[in-house]
Homo-oligomer: A and B are copies of this chain.
Amino acid sequence: MTVPDEGSSRLETVVDGVVARRTRDVARAITIVENGGAAARELMAELSTRPQAQRRCQTIGLTGSPGVGKSTMTAALIAALREAQRSVAVLAVDPSSPFSGGALLGDRIRMQSHSGDADVFIRSMASRGHLGGLAAAAGQVLRVFDAAGFDVALIETVGVGQSEVEIAAAADTTVVLLAPGMGDGIQAAKAGILEIGDVFVVNKADREGASSTARELRAMIALSDKDAATGDDREWTPPVVTSVASTGEGVVDVAEAIDAHARWASEHGELTRRRLLRAVEEITSTLTGLLRSRLETEPLSEQVEHLAQEVATGRVDVHRAAERLWERVVDGGTG
C-alpha cells in the first residue's frame, strides 16, 4: 500500500494528464493497466478520486470474424464521429498479434490518418498476458477513457475468442460485423450472436450474396424477437445495415443505427442496466483475480499443490477438490 513518493507523484502526474486528455499520459496510463499489479491498482484508485472518474463515455463494441473489415469500419466510424465533432478513443484488442502483424499494421495506417488530432486516440492491446484477465484490463482502459473525457469509446475485438466476444458484448451498443458468404443466419442463431448484437452490419455489401445474408439475418432476428409482433417498444429489434466500409458506403447508416440504439437504451433504462451488469462483471473478475493470488500464497498454496496431485492422478475429481479448497478459503484462508 505504501509506495515511494516519487512513484506516487509520477502517478498523480499521469492522472493529471489523463483528465486533461494529454495523449501521452492516456497512453502511459494504459501501459500501467497493461502491466497490471500494484501500479495499476494505485492508478485506478487515484483516478477514482477525481470528479472526472464519474463520467462515462458512450461505449461501442465492434466484433466479427477476421476478414469482415473491422479495422476499415473502425476507421470509417472514427471519420464519421469526427465530422460530428465528437472525440473518440479506440481500443483494438488484438488477438491476432501472436501470429501475424496484420492488426498492428492496420493500426499504424489508421493512426497516420488521424495523427495530430487530439480528439482521436487509438491503441491496440494484446489479448493475452493479462494476469487479472482480459476483461478486467479492458474495463480499466475504459475508465481511463472515461476520465479523459472522450465522447465515444470504441472497442474492437475479433469475434472468435471467448473473452474477446464477451468484451465487445459488454459495451453500451454492440455492433456485429459480417460479410457475405462468411456467415449465415442459422449459424448466427446457433452460436448466439443474435443475442449479443444490437446492430448487425453486412459489410462488403458489394459482394455477391450480401442481400441474401442481410435478408436471412433479418428473418432470424424476427423469429427470435417475440415482442416485435405486438409493436412493444420495450424490446429493441436489432437493425441489419449493409455497408462497404472501404468506400464509406453505408457508414452513415451504421453510425445512425448505433445512435438510435444508444438513444433507445438510454430512454428505456437499458443503458443503466448494462452498465450495472458490466460493473458486476468487473467486480467479479477482479475478485476472482484476488482469489487466484491468494491461492498462490501460503497457507493455501500448499493445499492447492496437494489437491492438484490428487486430481492429476485421478484419485479426486476436480469438483470435489475445488469444494475442499473453498472450505479452506472461507474457514482458514486468513488463518
Contact = CB atoms under 8 A, between A and B. Distances in A.
A334 interface: yes
Nearest to A333: B330
B178 A99 contact: yes
A316 B48 contact: yes
Contacts of A96: 65, 160
**How many subunits of this chain does the assembly comprise?**
2
A267 B317 CA distance: 26
A138 to B, nearest CB: 11
Nearest to A327: B334
A128 B283 contact: no
Main SS of the interface on chain A?
A: helix
Nearest to A316: B48
A111 interface: no
A184 B97 CA distance: 10
A328 to B, nearest CB: 10
Top 7 nearest A-B pairs by Cβ distance? A161-B161, A54-B314, A98-B191, A48-B317, A286-B322, A279-B308, A65-B99
23 contacts: A44-B319, A47-B317, A53-B317, A54-B315, A64-B99, A65-B98, A97-B190, A98-B159, A98-B187, A126-B191, A127-B160, A127-B162, A128-B162, A143-B314, A143-B318, A158-B160, A161-B163, A283-B318, A284-B295, A286-B322, A287-B325, A288-B292, A330-B333
